[in-house]
């Protein structure tokens, strides 16, 4: 049996001190290289190192995998078509026709009335006003960059901008001209137009025609491109987008927006069903492309709109029913992708979409040729 000896108080204190010293040496030995609480110099060094690392990451900025950007493309200077070779005379004529309200029944509506080139190619209304202030059936989309779309109109009933140019002039709700012969009669009544058509179509037997009117307007519209900061970024300029815009782009890529919005116009290259992932929960009577094809499979199918200049071209959707881009993004994520976005995610995506706002070409409304003595008068009926 071991006999325990009682230590005196001084001896006990000495023993405790020895144990503490051994424990401190053991702590230092097993934690070599780590921050010591009793060494303020080491602590300051670690704090400084963290700050330097954070600053380095800040300088590096947000990086996007550039291989993912192959699904987009830079805007060209103009959208060329082998079916409509441009010339200065043809583009100039098309510009005049675009602004000329005499191509409407009451001579008060022009192409520019609904597609205002000073307002990013739209009029800002949910639906546009036409002849006798009638409301059109759908929202008027922007004409800028439209020549890069695979079809025209929300329902794709026109193959290109040349075919599209023929539609509104004869539409009874829009410009309401009786027929193409009536349009040609107006053009032939204006001597200066007769000369302009001859210069634009020198090989035509009958230069003044409805087909040539469409070709001229189309040639002009093919020049309406709006290069944006995003184009500079696609070309390799990392500084063209700030970190917040890159953050939004990264979310745009990862969320699934590129399921529909790709290509040179970031959209405008396919049809898609409204309510693809979750049925559209708002009143809708417009059947979309079904009105053209009469096929049930095309019910609620609409051309996917371009996102270029989208921050400037509201209100949104085929009926102009949504006033803000934030709400449009929220609804698209919900109904097309089946995702509920948080407020900060919506904000980030909208920030990126702002980088698609381009520079408008400098277009001064042209001087229109004066009416001739035989020019038909406005018809208010």
Tens digit of pLDDT per residue, the chain (381 long)? 443 444 443 444 344 443 444 444 443 444 433 333 444 455 555 556 555 545 444 446 789 999 999 999 999 999 999 999 999 999 999 999 999 999 999 999 999 999 999 999 999 999 999 999 999 999 999 999 999 999 999 999 999 999 999 999 999 999 999 999 999 999 999 999 999 999 999 999 999 999 999 999 999 999 999 999 999 999 999 999 999 999 999 999 999 999 999 999 999 999 999 999 999 999 999 999 999 999 999 999 999 999 999 999 999 999 999 999 999 999 999 999 999 999 999 999 999 999 999 999 999 999 999 999 999 999 989
CATH number at residue 102: 1.10.760.10
Going by C-alpha positions, the residue among 106, 105, 123 that lies closest to residue 114 is 123
Cα–Cα distance, 352 to 307 (Å, whole number): 11
* Same domain assignment for residues 199 and 238: no
* Same domain assignment for residues 350 and 264: yes
For 50, the token pair is 């963290």
* Same domain assignment for residues 141 and 263: no
Last residue of a domain, one of 184, 206, 221: 221
Does a structural domain hold residue 214?
A: yes
* Same domain assignment for residues 141 and 187: yes
pLDDT of residue 120: 98
Does a structural domain hold residue 306?
A: yes
pLDDT of residue 358: 98
Does a structural domain hold residue 21?
A: no
Does a structural domain hold residue 217?
A: yes
| Cα atoms in the 13 Å half-sphere on the side-chain side of 224 | 29
Host domain of residue 297 = 66-75+226-354
* Same domain assignment for residues 278 and 158: no
* Same domain assignment for residues 231 and 336: yes
* Same domain assignment for residues 231 and 216: no
pLDDT of residue 84: 98
The DSSP annotation for 65-115 comes to: -GGGGGGB-PPPSS---TTS---HHHHHHHHHHHH-GGGSTTS---HHHHS
* Same domain assignment for residues 247 and 141: no
Last residue of a domain, one of 221, 255, 288: 221
Does a structural domain hold residue 107?
A: yes
Does a structural domain hold residue 380?
A: no
Count up the domains in the chain and report the number.
2
Residues with a known catalytic role: 174
Last residue of a domain, one of 198, 221, 244: 221
For 121, 209, 262, the CA distances from 190, given in Å and listed in that order, are 27, 13, 44
pLDDT of residue 316: 98
Q: Is 107 left (phi over 0), alpha (psi -120 to 50) or beta?
A: left
* Same domain assignment for residues 175 and 159: yes
* Same domain assignment for residues 230 and 177: no
pLDDT of residue 287: 97
pLDDT of residue 61: 79
* Same domain assignment for residues 196 and 96: yes
């Amino acid at each position: 049996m071991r006999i325990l000896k009682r230590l005196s108080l001084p001896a006990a204190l000495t023993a405790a001190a020895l144990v503490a010293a051994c424990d401190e040496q053991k702590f230092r030995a097993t934690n070599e290289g780590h921050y010591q609480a009793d060494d303020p110099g080491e602590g300051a060094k670690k704090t400084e190192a963290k700050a330097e690392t954070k600053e380095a990451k800040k300088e590096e900025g947000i990086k996007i995998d550039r291989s993912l950007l192959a699904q987009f493309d830079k805007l060209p200077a103009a959208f060329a078509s082998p079916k409509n070779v441009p010339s200065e005379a043809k583009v100039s004529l098309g510009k005049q026709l675009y602004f000329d309200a005499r191509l409407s029944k009451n001579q008060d509506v022009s192409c520019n009335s609904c597609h205002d080139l000073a307002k990013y190619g739209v009029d800002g209304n949910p639906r546009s006003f036409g002849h006798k202030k009638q409301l059109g059936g759908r929202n008027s989309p922007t004409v800028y960059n439209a020549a890069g779309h695979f079809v025209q109109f929300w329902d794709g009933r026109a193959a290109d901008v040349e075919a599209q140019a023929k539609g509104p002039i004869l539409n009874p709700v829009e410009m309401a001209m009786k027929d193409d012969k009536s349009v040609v009669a107006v053009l032939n009544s204006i001597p200066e137009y007769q000369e302009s058509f001859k210069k634009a179509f020198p090989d035509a037997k009958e230069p003044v025609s409805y087909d040539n009117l469409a070709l001229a307007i189309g040639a002009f519209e093919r020049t309406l491109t709006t290069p944006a900061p995003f184009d500079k970024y696609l070309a390799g300029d990392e500084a063209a987008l700030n970190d917040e815009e890159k953050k939004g782009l990264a979310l745009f890529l990862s969320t699934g927006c590129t399921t529909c919005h790709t290509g040179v116009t970031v959209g405008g290259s396919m049809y898609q069903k409204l309510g693809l992932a979750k049925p559209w929960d708002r009143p809708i009577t417009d059947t979309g492309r079904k009105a053209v094809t009469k096929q049930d499979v095309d019910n609620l199918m609409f051309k996917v709109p371009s996102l270029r200049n989208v921050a400037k071209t509201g209100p949104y959707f085929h009926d102009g029913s949504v006033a803000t881009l934030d709400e449009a993004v929220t609804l698209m994520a919900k109904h097309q992708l089946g995702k509920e976005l948080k407020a900060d995610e919506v904000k980030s995506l909208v920030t990126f979409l702002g980088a698609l706002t381009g520079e408008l070409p400098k277009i001064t409304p042209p001087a229109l040729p004066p009416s001739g003595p035989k020019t038909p008068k406005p018809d208010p009926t």
